[in-house]
Amino acid sequence: MPTCSFCKKPYNEHKGIVVFTFDGKSLSYCSGKCRRNAELGRDPKKTNWVRREKKGKSIKELKEEKIRSIKEDTGDKK
């Protein structure tokens, strides 16, 4: 199974797109969304829908957890 060059997710061969650059590199993408974002030069670490490898959570999920923990902390003080 190939992995997407943008989001690093494994995908089935018949689903994705493979792009060959002029210098001989092959870039495989799982969807058009990943291909367009890569062509626009976006950083996969900064997009909310791509999961981070180190922590396994997206930025949106991390923000939600932080907000939840702050609400719990303020609720305990009252």
- Between 76 and 8, the higher pLDDT residue: 8
pLDDT score of 32: 92
pLDDT score of 34: 93
Q: Would you say residue 58 lies in a domain? A: yes
What is the number of domains present in the chain? 1
Please state whether the predicted TM-score (pTM) of the whole model is above 0.85.
Answer: no
What the block records as the tokens of 5 is: 């060059």
Summarised one tens digit per residue, pLDDT across range 13-71 is 888 899 999 999 999 999 999 999 999 999 988 888 876 555 567 778 888 888 988 88
Q: Would you say residue 4 lies in a domain? A: no
DSSP 51: P
Q: Would you say residue 5 lies in a domain? A: no
Read off the CATH number of the domain in which 58 is found.
Answer: 2.30.170
Q: Are 21 and 28 in contact (CB under 8 A)?
A: no
Q: What range defines the domain where residue 44 resides?
A: 17-77
